[in-house]
Amino acid sequence: MRVAVVIPCYKVAPHLAEVLAAIPPEVSHILVIDDCCPQGSGDVAAAYPDPRIEVLRHPVNCGVGGAVTTGYRRALELECDIAVKVDGDGQMDPAHLPRLISPLAEGRADYAKGNRFLHFHALKSMPVVRLIGNSALSFLVKAASGQWGVMDPTNGFTAIHRRALSELELDRLSQRYFFESDVLIQLGISGMAVEDVAIPARYGNEVSSLSVSKVAFEFPPLLLKGFMRRLLIRYFVADFNLASFYLLIALPLLLFGGGIGAVEWVHSIETGLPRSPGTVMLVAMPIIIGFQLLIQAIAFDVQAAPRPRR
């Protein structure tokens, strides 16, 4: 089985040699993508004495997603069976690579990713802000991607099988920090199985470029877009099932009840008169029924989530 390691590089020159030295011998190709790194990470990799290394250079900075996409394309050209993404900053220990690719090699999953939350004793080393933010973001990515069995969506230590990589629309993937979440959304649309692997992170003196403000302002609209696209394709284009039926009834009922309720509420404030019991029921019943149907659609989506093959 041919395995390629993809290493996106931007301002990681001080850590890169250590990462390269830790790549196990089972790896066939080491694809280092110099994303217009001002520290010359590509030169560091090119000077490293390992014949497996191939340096790919970007003339302009494309972001981590753009760099990994370049590596993925090269892995497909090399006809590799598995492509593993490892960051060049030393936070991901390549010694865990055999465990990461095991679900793919054994045919259990199409995509495997590290999950820092499965190592409870290692969570003590995770900054509190990351821990809280990751928990909240995990739920939003679950809903957007339909991959309800995964956590830690921004974990960049990932492995993807060729069959799943061939299904990805690489040109549509986010080129920045939304990349990992975007991959999960596309895999959810394609019905690919994802498995989490318990791998602790290592936090040193490196500085993370993924800030709370970037997540708070950039991720929500992208998650909403991905969610709507998945919903449309999975439940109204590729298939029409019970969840599709629930949604077609629930959404109009919620809109009707909410709209009438808003109008009557404003009218009640303007006139100072309470609404009649009949009006209250006219507002409440569509909302209650619509909400119940929406819960049923969510339950169906959770049950239909792609799961690792045992």
Q: What is the pLDDT of residue 309?
A: 85
Confidence of residue 205 (pLDDT cuts 50, 70, 90): low
pLDDT in tens, 80-115: 999 999 999 988 999 999 999 999 999 999 999 999
Grouping H, G, I as helix, E, B as strand and the rest as coil, residue 186 is: helix
Q: For the residues of 24-82, what is the DSSP string, one character each? A: -TT-SEEEEEE-S-TT-HHHHHHHSS-TTEEEEE-SS--HHHHHHHHHHHHHHHTT-SE
Query: How sure is the predictor about 255, in pLDDT bands with cuts at 50, 70 and 90?
Result: very high
* Whether 15 contacts 92, CB under 8 Å: no
Give the H or E element holding residue 21: helix 13-21
| Predicted pLDDT of residue 87 | 93
Q: How confident is the model at residue 212 (pLDDT cuts 50, 70, 90)?
A: low
| Between 93 and 214, residue with greater pLDDT | 93
CATH number of 3-233: 3.40.190.80, 3.90.550.10, 1.10.10.60, 3.40.50.970? 3.90.550.10
The pLDDT-based confidence of 130 (bands split at 50, 70, 90) is confident
In this predicted model, what pLDDT tens digit does every residue of 119-128 receive, in sequence order? 776 667 667 7
Say how far residue 163 (Cα) sits from the centre of its chain: 18
Residue 140 predicted with pLDDT over 90: yes
